[in-house]
Chains A and B, each alone.
Chain A
C-alpha cells in the first residue's frame, strides 16, 4: 500500500514537472525546418517558387512541397531531403544536370545592372552603362540573371573539367570486361581465320573457274 501511494505521488509530481517544463522550455522553431534548411543550398535563388530557402524548408516540413523542388541542389539535395523526411521520390523527376555557371556575352551587354540587382550572391560586377561580368567562383548557376537580362546576353555554361578537378571514373564492369571483350575479339579473329582457311581448303578441293583457267594456262 505504502509503495503504491509513494509511487503514484512520485509519478504525479514528475508528470507535473514535465508538463511545466514542456510549457516553459518549449522550442520555438520546428527543429525539422532548421535541419531541412541546412540541407538546401541556401543561396536564396527562389527557383523553387518560394521567396527563399527558409520558406521552402517550412513548406517541406509541412508537407506542402515536393522534395524535388530545388533545381540547383541537384540529385544530392533531393536524396538528402528524401532521406531526412522518410519519403520516396520519383527518380524521373530529378534530372542530373551538370553544374552550370553564368557567362555574360560582353558585346551584347548594355550595362543595365538588372542582373547585378537580382544576383543573390553578389556574383556579378559592373556599373551602370558599363559592361558586366560574372565572378565564376561566386556563381552557382541559378539563372536569375538570365531571366531579367533585356538583351539576352547571359548564357549558362556547363562548368568545364580542369586538370585540378578531374578525377578517375569508377572502374565499370565494362572496363573489367575489356579483357574479356579482347578475348572475344581474338576468338572472333580466330574463327574468321579458321573460316578463311576452311574456304581456302574448300577452294583447293573444288577448283574454281579462275584456278581452272590458270591450270589450263599452265598446261598450254
Chain B
C-alpha cells in the first residue's frame, strides 16, 4: 500500500537484539508494591481503600476524579499497608500519593467485571464505559485515558484507525514480543476499538525491522478475515526514528499532516498502541482491569535483559533483581522508556506505572558523555527535525532565555524526539534545552491564566462592593426621603390640626 513521505528522522542503532528473543515472562509479585494514584494523564485517582484492608487482584483501589482520569486496581492480592507519599518514577524525584500494598503471594483474582460475551453486538457506549472502568490508558507512553479517546468517535467522524506497533525507540521490544506471542489477542482488541469507533479502515503499522511480528500479525489478520467486514491491513513501515510518533505515523500512512497543537482526531484518524488494544480486549472479553503490562528491561548494564509482564507498583530495584541484577553498578544511566525520549529515574526505589514500557540501565560504553562544543551551523539538526523546525536557531534564543522568540520559531511544536541532539556533531544537548523552554513557556501560560483569574476576581469584587455601596446609599436616601415625607406629612397634619380648631373656633365664634 502507498506510504506518504515524511521529513527528517535519524537512523539509530536499534540494539533490540539484547531482548528481542526473550519471550515474555510473567513476573511474580514482589514482596512490596507502591501503587501511585497518578499513573495517567489527567487528575489523580481518589483512594477507596483504607490501611489494613484485604484486597484481591483486580479490586478497585482508587476511583477516578473528573472527566480525564482513570481508576487504579489492585495489581495482586494482599493487604493495604499505608496510603502515603512515595517517590514518583519521574526525573524530578518528587513524591506522589501511593498505596503501599503487601502481596500475600497467592495472586488471586477477585470478582471481576462481568465479561461482555459478544462485544460486536453491544452498544459502543457500553464498551467505552467498560474500558473506563477497567482503568485502561494509552500504553504507548503518554498514558492518556483510552475511554476518552474512544468517546471521541461519537463526536467527530473518524475514518481511519491506525494501530501503532512501530516501536521505533532503540532497545524496547515489549510491543514486538506482544505482537509475536499474542497477535490474536491484539487483533481482537483492534477489532473492538474499530467497532466502538465505527471505523472500517484499519492499518496496523509495524517497523520493517520486526519481520516476525509482521508475519504473526499478518497471519492473525488472515485468520479473522472471514468474519470481519472492514479492512485490516498490516503495513510494514520504514525503520527510521521517530516513525512511532503519532503525528508522523498518521502523516506517513494517511498523508494528512496534523495541524500544530491539534490531535489526530482533527484529521479523522484515531491512533492506539498495540498493548492498549490487548488491554482493551482483556477489559471487554474477560472483564479484567489493567493491572500489569509488558516491560522491557534492557541495556548494557543489565545482566539478563528480559521482557517481563510486571504488576504495576513493582519497584525498579525488584525488577532489576528479577533480571539477575546489574553487571555495571551503578549504571551510567537508569531510564524509564527508551534511550531517545526516556526520562532518567531519580532512584531505584520507584514503581513501574502504566506509562512505562521499558526500564534501561545503560553502561558507560553506551552513552555519549563528552562535553558539548560550540555550534558550527552545519544544519544537520534542521535536516533531521521531523517537525520541520530550526533547532540551532531556537537553541540560541533559549540559551539567552528569549523564550518568546523561541516560541515564535515553533519551539512549542517540538515533539521532543531528540533526533537533533542525536545527530548534532557538537553534542549540544538540544533536546534538553527545548524541554526546558517548553516547561518554562507552560509555566508562564499558567501564570498568565492565574493573573487573568485574579484580575477577574478582583474586578468582580470591586463591582460587587460598588453595588452594595450604591444599594446602601439608595436605601439611605429612600429612608431619608421617607422620613422627610413623614415629617412633612406630620407637619401638615399638625398645621391642619392647628388650623381646624382655629376654624372650629371661628365657626363657634
Contact = CB atoms under 8 A, between A and B. Distances in A.
A170 interface: yes
Contacts, number: 79
A137 B453 CA distance: 9
B91 A168 contact: yes
Interface stretch (B142-150, B237-245, B454-462): B454-462
A58 interface: no
Interface string A73-103: 0000000000000000000000000000000
Contact of A138 (B38, B90, B457): B457
A176 B457 contact: no
Interface in B424-460: 429, 432-433, 435-436, 438-440, 442-443, 446, 450-451, 453-455, 457-460
Contacts of A41: 451, 454-455
Contact of B443 (A167, A176, A182): A167
A161 interface: yes
Contacts of A162: 94
DSSP class of A's interface residues: helix, strand, loop or mixed?
loop
B371 interface: yes
A145 to B, nearest CB: 14
B457 A165 contact: no
Contacts of A168: 91, 432, 435-436, 439
B454 to A, nearest CB: 4
B436 A170 contact: yes
A122 B433 contact: no
A171 interface: yes
Interface in B446-503: 446, 450-451, 453-455, 457-462
Given A42-B455, A167-B443, A180-B371, A120 B91 contact: no
Contact of B435 (A42, A167, A182): A167
Interface residues of A, number: 27
Q: What class of interface size applies to chain B in its complex with A?
A: 35 or more
A165 B449 CA distance: 14
Contacts of B369: 179, 182
A176 B372 contact: yes
A44 B459 CA distance: 9
B426 to A, nearest CB: 11
A121 B96 contact: no
A167 B440 contact: yes
Contacts of A182: 369
Contact of B454 (A42, A176, A177): A42
Contacts of B439: 166-168
> Which of B453, B454, B461 has most chain A Cβ within 10 Å?
B454
A44 B463 CA distance: 13
Contacts of B90: 163, 166
A123 B457 CA distance: 9
26 contacts: A42-B454, A42-B459, A43-B454, A43-B458, A44-B462, A120-B457, A121-B454, A121-B461, A122-B461, A123-B457, A137-B453, A138-B453, A140-B450, A162-B94, A163-B38, A163-B94, A165-B443, A166-B439, A167-B440, A167-B442, A168-B91, A168-B436, A170-B436, A171-B436, A179-B369, A179-B371
Given A121-B457, A163-B88, A171-B432, 13 more contacts: A42-B454, A42-B458, A120-B458, A123-B457, A137-B453, A163-B90, A166-B94, A167-B436, A167-B439, A167-B440, A170-B399, A176-B429, A179-B369
Interface of A: 41-44, 120-123, 137-138, 140, 161-163, 165-171, 175-177, 179-180, 182
